[in-house]
Amino acid sequence: MDSNTIDYEALLKHAFRAKEYAYAPYSGFKVGAALITAGGRVYTGANIENASYGATCCAERTAVFSAVSCGDRKIAAIAIASDSENTIFPCGICRQVLTEFGDGEMDIVCGKRNGEYTVYKLHELIPQAFELT
| CA distance to 13, 19, 30, 70, 97, per residue, from 121 (Å) | 20, 23, 24, 25, 15
Alpha-carbon distance of 41 to 54, in angstroms, equals 30
Active-site residue, selected from the candidate residues 20, 60, 85, 116: 60
52 is in an annotated binding site: yes
Start-to-end Cα distance in the chain: 26
User: Catalytic site residue 100?
Assistant: no
4 is in an annotated binding site: no
58 is in an annotated binding site: yes
96 phi and psi, to 5 degrees? Answer: -65, -40
94 is in an annotated binding site: yes
85 is in an annotated binding site: no
129 is in an annotated binding site: no
50 is in an annotated binding site: yes
Q: Which helix (H) or strand (E) holds 12?
A: helix 8-19
Annotated binding site for Zn(2+): 58, 91, 94
* Catalytic annotation, residues: 60
Annotated binding site for substrate: 47-53
Annotated binding site: 47-53, 58, 91, 94
